[in-house]
Amino acid sequence: MRLRVRNFRKLASLDWAPSGVCLLVGPNGAGKTTALRALQFMQTVWRRGMSHAIRLSGGARAMRTRGAAIDAPVELELAEGEVTWSLKLIVEGDGLHPYYGERVQSSGEILLNIPGLSPTYLLMDTKRGREDRPGIETLRTVTQDTRIEALNTFLSQIRVHTGWWIPDVLRPESAEEGNKTLNSSGRNLIPVLQSWKAAPRRNRDQFAWVLKQAIRAFPDVLADIEFAEDGSALLFPADSRSADDTLPLHLAPDGLIRGLLVLTAVAGAPDGSVVAIDDVEEALHPYAIRSILESVREWSDEHDLTVIFTTHSPIVMNEFSSEPDRVFVLEPNAAKKPIALDKLKNPDWLAMFSLGELYDRMKFASPPPPAQALTDGDERGGR
């Protein structure tokens, strides 16, 4: 998977091909969440149309990056294998022109070309009038071209979580897309776990894995999870002494709930897909962070997942000290964004420190520090 973005909200430019379990880091306002939302935006256009995607992303206002040229379009591009899907949004006043540009290419061959502002376009070699649906949907349904199957599958399986809605998690409800995978807000956590537990063979023993890894991350908190007849979750504390010695989910530690959400998000991802989670460290003890990251790596390797975490946690970064090539930095004023940490800094120099220490000392992924905070010698050593 490769994601390219130009002039989308905070991101003036992004060109990124993540793989495996990786981190996206940068100072506040660098565009970490925006990068995840760009991926989510393209999936929503594909699934529900441009108007819905714009509404879910916060509206058309300020869609274009501040400081961009007045005639600059907002551009997003997603490539999977040999197929590339591109969108070009035309900014008009405080909004967007309804006739956006769209293109699909396979190995360089143009399968779909919709020029921005144009009421007509080419689908393969056929001229058509613009429709109230994405061109890629027309390409999928009208031509049934098998060359875009891999891209369609990839788009259908993207999972982006930019914020857990804990009050909704504590009042569980089914998601409209079903209860096989976690909703973006996590509100269907309990229905998902319950459905997995009810059919372990059909669900790859996902519930058993989530429970095992949660117990490993919170050994003094959790011993088991069961479900009451009304569908509510009952947690057995680590020191539970009887079948009736349970806690309802709303009395569980916040860190445990968030740990369950991360593990469930990863376990529910289809093989070969992408899962992105914002601020993975939130409310988690360092022990739980290390345990959950180890669990995620094991599952990701087994199921060929790309798992993207954003973070400000030195503890999380320390767990990537031996893999600086999997830490991607949105460095202010850098020409290329994001850039792998081992390309930004000398790998031999990085190996002398823990990444969390370097981050805390503002050696990377930080706003420009006061002049006295870094010496010339420090700066040269890290280049």
Instruction: Please report the pLDDT score of residue 271 as a whole number.
Output: 97
Establish if 351 belongs to a structural domain: yes
Q: Same domain, yes or no, for 346 and 383?
A: yes
Query: How far, in Å, CA of 13 to CA of 303, rounded?
Result: 31
Last residue of a domain, one of 119, 136, 157: 157
Q: Same domain, yes or no, for 97 and 52?
A: yes
Q: Same domain, yes or no, for 168 and 152?
A: no
Last residue of a domain, one of 270, 304, 338: 304
Instruction: Please report the pLDDT score of residue 175 as a whole number.
Output: 57
Establish if 49 belongs to a structural domain: yes
Report the SS3 class of residue 300: helix
Q: Same domain, yes or no, for 6 and 153?
A: yes
Query: How far, in Å, CA of 42 to CA of 78, rounded?
Result: 8
Instruction: Please report the pLDDT score of residue 131 as a whole number.
Output: 92
Q: Same domain, yes or no, for 242 and 367?
A: no
Q: Per-residue pLDDT averaged across 145-167, rounded?
A: 96
User: Is-above-0.85 flag for pTM?
Assistant: yes
* Count of domains observed in the chain: 3
Taking only the tens place, the pLDDT of each residue in 3-42 is 999 999 999 999 999 999 999 999 999 999 999 999 999 9
Last residue of a domain, one of 244, 271, 304: 304
Taking only the tens place, the pLDDT of each residue in 228-270 is 988 899 999 999 888 889 999 999 999 999 999 999 999 999 9
Query: How far, in Å, CA of 64 to CA of 378, rounded?
Result: 37
Query: What residues make up the domain containing 350?
Result: 313-383
Q: Per-residue pLDDT averaged across 217-225, rounded?
A: 97
Q: Same domain, yes or no, for 68 and 181?
A: no
Establish if 55 belongs to a structural domain: yes
Q: Same domain, yes or no, for 103 and 7?
A: yes
Which helix H or strand E contains 128, and what residues bound it? strand 126-129
Q: Per-residue pLDDT averaged across 148-174, rounded?
A: 91
140, pLDDT greater than 80 = yes
Q: Same domain, yes or no, for 298 and 349?
A: no
Establish if 23 belongs to a structural domain: no
